[in-house]
Structure 1
Amino acid sequence: MMKTKEDLFDNQIFQEYLFNPLTNPVKSEVRTFLSGECITEDDELYIIINGKIAEQQNSKDIRYYEQGDFVGMDCLVYYKPDPKICIADGDTIVYVIKKLDVMHKLESETVGIQLAIKILGQHIHLLQNKLTKD
Protein backbone atom coordinates (compact mmCIF):
# COMPACT_ATOMS: atom_id res chain seq x y z
CA MET A 1 0.00 0.00 0.00
CA MET A 2 1.39 3.42 -0.99
CA LYS A 3 1.28 6.24 1.55
CA THR A 4 3.87 8.87 0.64
CA LYS A 5 4.96 10.90 -2.36
CA GLU A 6 8.08 8.75 -2.47
CA ASP A 7 5.89 5.66 -2.88
CA LEU A 8 4.07 7.44 -5.71
CA PHE A 9 7.35 8.25 -7.42
CA ASP A 10 8.09 4.52 -7.57
CA ASN A 11 4.69 3.81 -9.16
CA GLN A 12 4.77 3.92 -12.98
CA ILE A 13 1.21 5.29 -13.21
CA PHE A 14 2.20 8.52 -11.49
CA GLN A 15 5.86 8.79 -12.40
CA GLU A 16 5.28 9.36 -16.12
CA TYR A 17 2.64 12.07 -15.74
CA LEU A 18 3.23 13.89 -12.50
CA PHE A 19 6.95 13.79 -11.83
CA ASN A 20 9.87 14.77 -13.98
CA PRO A 21 13.40 15.35 -12.63
CA LEU A 22 13.76 18.40 -14.88
CA THR A 23 10.62 20.11 -13.58
CA ASN A 24 8.89 20.74 -10.29
CA PRO A 25 6.33 18.13 -9.31
CA VAL A 26 2.67 19.12 -9.23
CA LYS A 27 1.72 20.43 -5.79
CA SER A 28 -0.26 17.72 -4.08
CA GLU A 29 -1.12 15.78 -0.98
CA VAL A 30 -2.05 12.22 -0.13
CA ARG A 31 -5.41 11.75 1.61
CA THR A 32 -7.14 8.73 3.08
CA PHE A 33 -10.93 8.38 3.05
CA LEU A 34 -12.82 5.81 5.07
CA SER A 35 -15.49 3.63 3.53
CA GLY A 36 -18.64 5.66 2.82
CA GLU A 37 -16.99 9.08 2.96
CA CYS A 38 -17.79 11.61 0.22
CA ILE A 39 -14.50 12.63 -1.36
CA THR A 40 -15.09 15.11 -4.16
CA GLU A 41 -14.62 18.87 -4.11
CA ASP A 42 -15.20 21.03 -7.17
CA ASP A 43 -11.66 22.43 -7.11
CA GLU A 44 -9.73 19.15 -6.81
CA LEU A 45 -8.58 16.33 -9.06
CA TYR A 46 -8.05 12.90 -7.49
CA ILE A 47 -5.90 9.99 -8.60
CA ILE A 48 -6.62 6.72 -6.82
CA ILE A 49 -3.55 5.20 -5.20
CA ASN A 50 -5.31 2.35 -3.46
CA GLY A 51 -8.97 1.43 -3.03
CA LYS A 52 -12.12 2.04 -5.01
CA ILE A 53 -14.53 4.94 -5.51
CA ALA A 54 -18.19 4.70 -6.46
CA GLU A 55 -19.58 7.56 -8.54
CA GLN A 56 -23.24 8.13 -7.70
CA GLN A 57 -26.08 10.12 -9.20
CA ASN A 58 -29.55 10.17 -7.66
CA SER A 59 -28.28 7.77 -4.95
CA LYS A 60 -27.36 5.07 -7.51
CA ASP A 61 -23.87 3.81 -8.36
CA ILE A 62 -23.19 4.66 -11.99
CA ARG A 63 -19.47 3.94 -12.23
CA TYR A 64 -16.54 2.62 -10.22
CA TYR A 65 -13.00 4.01 -10.25
CA GLU A 66 -9.96 1.96 -9.25
CA GLN A 67 -6.19 2.38 -8.81
CA GLY A 68 -4.72 4.80 -11.33
CA ASP A 69 -8.06 6.34 -12.37
CA PHE A 70 -8.58 10.11 -12.34
CA VAL A 71 -11.66 11.40 -10.51
CA GLY A 72 -12.95 14.97 -10.88
CA MET A 73 -12.15 15.37 -14.57
CA ASP A 74 -15.56 16.77 -15.51
CA CYS A 75 -15.07 19.75 -13.22
CA LEU A 76 -11.57 20.24 -14.61
CA VAL A 77 -12.60 19.94 -18.27
CA TYR A 78 -15.99 21.67 -18.23
CA TYR A 79 -15.35 24.30 -15.51
CA LYS A 80 -18.68 23.61 -13.81
CA PRO A 81 -19.78 21.75 -10.70
CA ASP A 82 -20.50 18.08 -11.23
CA PRO A 83 -23.94 16.85 -10.07
CA LYS A 84 -22.47 13.41 -9.35
CA ILE A 85 -20.89 12.56 -6.01
CA CYS A 86 -18.07 10.14 -5.31
CA ILE A 87 -18.02 7.88 -2.27
CA ALA A 88 -15.13 5.77 -0.99
CA ASP A 89 -16.08 2.12 -1.54
CA GLY A 90 -13.89 0.77 1.25
CA ASP A 91 -10.92 2.63 2.71
CA THR A 92 -9.36 4.56 -0.16
CA ILE A 93 -6.10 6.49 -0.55
CA VAL A 94 -5.96 9.24 -3.17
CA TYR A 95 -3.43 11.68 -4.53
CA VAL A 96 -5.10 15.14 -4.42
CA ILE A 97 -4.19 17.94 -6.81
CA LYS A 98 -5.87 21.35 -6.74
CA LYS A 99 -7.45 22.40 -10.03
CA LEU A 100 -5.41 25.63 -10.13
CA ASP A 101 -2.16 23.67 -9.77
CA VAL A 102 -3.17 21.37 -12.64
CA MET A 103 -3.99 24.36 -14.83
CA HIS A 104 -0.66 26.01 -13.97
CA LYS A 105 1.20 22.80 -14.86
CA LEU A 106 -0.70 22.52 -18.14
CA GLU A 107 0.22 26.08 -19.06
CA SER A 108 3.86 25.97 -18.06
CA GLU A 109 5.46 22.63 -18.81
CA THR A 110 5.61 19.75 -21.25
CA VAL A 111 4.82 17.32 -18.44
CA GLY A 112 1.52 19.17 -18.10
CA ILE A 113 0.69 18.37 -21.70
CA GLN A 114 1.35 14.69 -20.98
CA LEU A 115 -1.00 14.90 -17.98
CA ALA A 116 -3.65 16.57 -20.14
CA ILE A 117 -3.36 13.83 -22.76
CA LYS A 118 -3.79 11.17 -20.06
CA ILE A 119 -6.84 12.93 -18.62
CA LEU A 120 -8.46 13.55 -22.01
CA GLY A 121 -7.69 10.01 -23.15
CA GLN A 122 -9.46 8.59 -20.13
CA HIS A 123 -12.38 10.98 -20.69
CA ILE A 124 -12.69 9.90 -24.34
CA HIS A 125 -12.63 6.25 -23.24
CA LEU A 126 -15.52 6.94 -20.84
CA LEU A 127 -17.51 8.62 -23.60
CA GLN A 128 -16.88 5.70 -25.96
CA ASN A 129 -18.10 3.25 -23.33
CA LYS A 130 -21.21 5.34 -22.74
CA LEU A 131 -21.97 5.55 -26.47
CA THR A 132 -21.60 1.81 -26.97
CA LYS A 133 -23.98 1.11 -24.05
CA ASP A 134 -26.71 3.45 -25.40
Structure 2
Amino acid sequence: MAIVKTFNVDEATAWVEGKKQDLIKLDTVTENAFNEISENKGIEIAKFIKNISPDNMYILCKSKISEVGELINSNGALYLDFESALPYYEKNGILTGNDPETTEFNDIMNFLYMGRKEKIKEISNESNQYVILNFMF
Protein backbone atom coordinates (compact mmCIF):
# COMPACT_ATOMS: atom_id res chain seq x y z
CA MET A 1 0.00 0.00 0.00
CA ALA A 2 2.90 2.31 0.67
CA ILE A 3 4.04 1.92 -2.95
CA VAL A 4 0.54 2.78 -4.23
CA LYS A 5 0.39 5.87 -2.06
CA THR A 6 3.96 6.97 -2.73
CA PHE A 7 4.16 6.19 -6.43
CA ASN A 8 1.16 4.66 -8.19
CA VAL A 9 -0.79 1.49 -8.94
CA ASP A 10 1.60 0.44 -11.71
CA GLU A 11 4.65 0.54 -9.41
CA ALA A 12 2.82 -1.44 -6.71
CA THR A 13 1.59 -3.98 -9.22
CA ALA A 14 5.12 -4.43 -10.57
CA TRP A 15 6.42 -5.03 -7.03
CA VAL A 16 3.70 -7.60 -6.30
CA GLU A 17 4.34 -9.36 -9.61
CA GLY A 18 8.06 -9.50 -8.78
CA LYS A 19 7.25 -11.11 -5.42
CA LYS A 20 4.42 -13.27 -6.78
CA GLN A 21 5.96 -16.67 -6.02
CA ASP A 22 6.72 -15.68 -2.41
CA LEU A 23 3.30 -14.09 -1.87
CA ILE A 24 1.43 -17.12 -3.22
CA LYS A 25 3.04 -19.22 -0.47
CA LEU A 26 1.73 -16.94 2.30
CA ASP A 27 -1.71 -17.49 3.81
CA THR A 28 -3.83 -14.42 4.50
CA VAL A 29 -4.87 -15.92 7.84
CA THR A 30 -1.84 -17.38 9.58
CA GLU A 31 -2.09 -20.40 11.84
CA ASN A 32 -1.38 -18.16 14.84
CA ALA A 33 -4.13 -15.73 13.81
CA PHE A 34 -6.56 -18.59 13.23
CA ASN A 35 -5.79 -20.05 16.66
CA GLU A 36 -6.14 -16.66 18.36
CA ILE A 37 -9.47 -15.94 16.66
CA SER A 38 -10.65 -19.44 17.52
CA GLU A 39 -9.63 -18.99 21.15
CA ASN A 40 -11.16 -15.52 21.51
CA LYS A 41 -14.21 -15.69 19.24
CA GLY A 42 -14.82 -19.41 18.71
CA ILE A 43 -13.88 -21.96 16.08
CA GLU A 44 -16.88 -21.19 13.87
CA ILE A 45 -15.90 -17.51 13.58
CA ALA A 46 -12.29 -18.48 12.85
CA LYS A 47 -13.43 -20.88 10.10
CA PHE A 48 -15.75 -18.24 8.66
CA ILE A 49 -12.96 -15.66 8.49
CA LYS A 50 -10.60 -18.19 6.93
CA ASN A 51 -13.23 -19.16 4.34
CA ILE A 52 -14.01 -15.59 3.26
CA SER A 53 -10.35 -14.53 3.13
CA PRO A 54 -8.41 -14.75 -0.14
CA ASP A 55 -6.40 -17.93 -0.58
CA ASN A 56 -3.02 -16.21 -0.44
CA MET A 57 -1.25 -12.88 -0.03
CA TYR A 58 -0.73 -12.44 -3.78
CA ILE A 59 -4.49 -12.35 -4.37
CA LEU A 60 -5.01 -10.08 -1.33
CA CYS A 61 -2.29 -7.63 -2.42
CA LYS A 62 -3.67 -7.41 -5.96
CA SER A 63 -7.15 -6.76 -4.57
CA LYS A 64 -5.96 -4.08 -2.13
CA ILE A 65 -3.86 -2.33 -4.77
CA SER A 66 -6.89 -2.13 -7.02
CA GLU A 67 -9.19 -0.97 -4.20
CA VAL A 68 -6.86 1.72 -2.86
CA GLY A 69 -5.86 2.80 -6.37
CA GLU A 70 -9.52 3.38 -7.25
CA LEU A 71 -10.05 5.38 -4.04
CA ILE A 72 -7.05 7.57 -4.72
CA ASN A 73 -8.00 8.10 -8.36
CA SER A 74 -11.58 9.05 -7.51
CA ASN A 75 -11.02 11.01 -4.28
CA GLY A 76 -7.43 12.20 -4.35
CA ALA A 77 -4.77 11.23 -1.81
CA LEU A 78 -6.02 10.05 1.57
CA TYR A 79 -3.12 11.87 3.20
CA LEU A 80 -0.13 13.83 2.04
CA ASP A 81 2.42 13.37 4.80
CA PHE A 82 3.07 11.49 8.02
CA GLU A 83 1.24 13.93 10.27
CA SER A 84 -1.90 14.02 8.15
CA ALA A 85 -1.97 10.19 8.25
CA LEU A 86 -2.37 10.28 12.04
CA PRO A 87 -6.20 10.27 12.10
CA TYR A 88 -6.30 7.29 9.75
CA TYR A 89 -3.82 5.40 11.90
CA GLU A 90 -5.74 6.19 15.08
CA LYS A 91 -9.01 5.08 13.50
CA ASN A 92 -7.90 2.01 11.53
CA GLY A 93 -4.25 1.22 12.15
CA ILE A 94 -4.02 -0.01 15.74
CA LEU A 95 -4.10 -3.79 15.74
CA THR A 96 -5.85 -5.87 18.38
CA GLY A 97 -4.26 -8.94 19.89
CA ASN A 98 -1.58 -9.92 22.36
CA ASP A 99 0.70 -12.00 20.15
CA PRO A 100 4.33 -10.82 19.86
CA GLU A 101 3.98 -9.64 16.23
CA THR A 102 0.93 -7.49 16.98
CA THR A 103 2.49 -6.05 20.10
CA GLU A 104 5.73 -5.26 18.25
CA PHE A 105 3.84 -3.59 15.37
CA ASN A 106 1.77 -1.43 17.73
CA ASP A 107 4.86 -0.48 19.74
CA ILE A 108 6.72 0.58 16.59
CA MET A 109 3.77 2.60 15.31
CA ASN A 110 3.24 4.26 18.70
CA PHE A 111 6.92 5.22 18.71
CA LEU A 112 6.69 6.62 15.16
CA TYR A 113 3.66 8.75 16.03
CA MET A 114 4.88 9.80 19.49
CA GLY A 115 4.58 13.57 19.80
CA ARG A 116 3.18 14.02 16.31
CA LYS A 117 0.18 16.25 15.80
CA GLU A 118 -2.23 16.29 12.92
CA LYS A 119 -1.68 19.23 10.59
CA ILE A 120 -4.47 21.74 10.14
CA LYS A 121 -5.00 22.24 6.42
CA GLU A 122 -7.00 24.64 4.33
CA ILE A 123 -9.83 22.66 2.85
CA SER A 124 -10.68 23.50 -0.72
CA ASN A 125 -12.91 20.53 -1.41
CA GLU A 126 -15.36 20.03 1.45
CA SER A 127 -17.21 17.29 -0.42
CA ASN A 128 -14.25 14.94 -0.05
CA GLN A 129 -15.45 12.16 2.24
CA TYR A 130 -11.96 11.69 3.69
CA VAL A 131 -11.61 15.20 5.06
CA ILE A 132 -11.14 15.35 8.81
CA LEU A 133 -10.72 18.59 10.68
CA ASN A 134 -9.03 18.49 14.02
CA PHE A 135 -8.19 21.87 15.51
CA MET A 136 -5.72 21.82 18.40
CA PHE A 137 -5.29 24.80 20.67
Is TM > 0.5 for Structure 1 vs Structure 2? no
Higher helix share: 2
Normalised TM-score (structure 1): 0.29
Q: Which has the higher contact order (CA 8 A, sep 6+)?
A: 1
Structure ID, larger Rg:
2
Higher strand share: 1
